[in-house]
Amino acid sequence: MRLVPETADAADIAQQALLLACSDHGANDIANVDAWLRCIARHLVIDHFRAGNRYNSVELRDALADSEPDLRTRADHALAVQESRERLDRLLDDATGQLCLLHQIVVLLADGYGHCDKYSAEALQMSLPCYKLVLHRARSAVRRERSGPSHPAGWLGVTCRLSTAEMLALRADLLEGLMT
């Protein structure tokens, strides 16, 4: 009651703490039950406030848009989008042989879409360390603009469980999503 201002929320948290305590089968060995219950309740209170603060929205008003120039769309936005698309097309053009298929997909997931490493590794059915290694090598290849494809098959420890057809379909979906 002291930590949560709403009486109904405090009652719900207390009830949840007791339910969790009763469902724990190892509770017979606990020396200080009061401290144990308070610890459960404290974690539930923290979760309650995290859930409440998860989504904060700010209404964009004209005064706010005028005072915050970063919130306004730049005048050259359409030109910047077109230039980005052209760079992406040049980067991922199969004819240049600059990046192997896996590197193209990794760069699209990480830098094109901004997906986290864990999500991208799962999408490619790879381990997280393996994905990070491939991402590092792909970004290095982009920076150096290597002439000639590098292929992950020769890399020790790099395994991607997607077939070439699946990777081609994934790349097509990612490119289509960026172009729309």
What's the whole-model pTM score? 0.48
Residue 111 sits in the same domain as residue 163: yes
Element (H, E) at 20: helix 7-23
Residue 28 lies in a domain: yes
For residue 58, being part of any structural domain is answered with: no
67 inside domain: no
**128 phi/psi in degrees, rounded to 5:** -60, -45
| Alpha helices per DSSP H over 24-111 | 33-52, 62-67, 77-92, 101-107
The number of domains in the chain is 2
87 and 47 housed in the same domain: no
Q: Quick one: 168 and 88 in the same domain?
A: yes
Identify whether residues 35 and 81 lie together within a single domain: no
Same domain, yes or no: 86 and 48: no
Do 167 and 114 fall within a single domain?
yes
Is 82 among the domain residues? Answer: yes
DSSP state of 73: P
Task: Return the structure tokens found at 120.
Answer: 């991208």
Say what angle helices 164-179 and 77-92 make with each other, to 10 degrees.
160
Q: Which residue range is the domain that position 85 belongs to? A: 77-179
Residue 96 is predicted with a pLDDT of: 46
Task: Render each residue's pLDDT in the chain as its tens digit; 180 residues.
Answer: 788 888 888 888 888 888 888 877 666 677 888 888 888 888 888 888 887 766 555 665 665 656 666 666 667 777 777 777 777 776 666 444 567 888 888 888 888 788 888 999 999 988 888 898 888 888 887 777 544 445 554 455 677 788 889 888 988 888 888 766
Categorise residue 97: left if φ over 0, alpha if ψ from -120 to 50, beta otherwise: left
Co-location of 47 and 105 in the same domain:
no
The two tokens of residue 47 are 């979760």
Q: Which residue has the tokens 């992950």?
A: 152
> Do 23 and 84 share a domain, yes or no?
no
18 domain residue, yes or no: yes
Eight-class DSSP state of 44: H
Q: Do 117 and 135 touch, CB atoms closer than 8 A? A: yes
> pLDDT at position 97, please?
58
- Residue 1 included in any domain: no
23 plus 94 within the same structural domain: no
118 closest CA partner among 161, 164, 100, 110: 110
Q: What is the pLDDT of residue 95?
A: 44
Pair 90, 41 in one domain: no
Any domain includes 57: no
Which tokens belong to 157? Answer: 């420890």
Same domain, 81 and 11: no
Residue 66 lies in a domain: no
Mark whether 33 and 90 lie in a shared domain. no
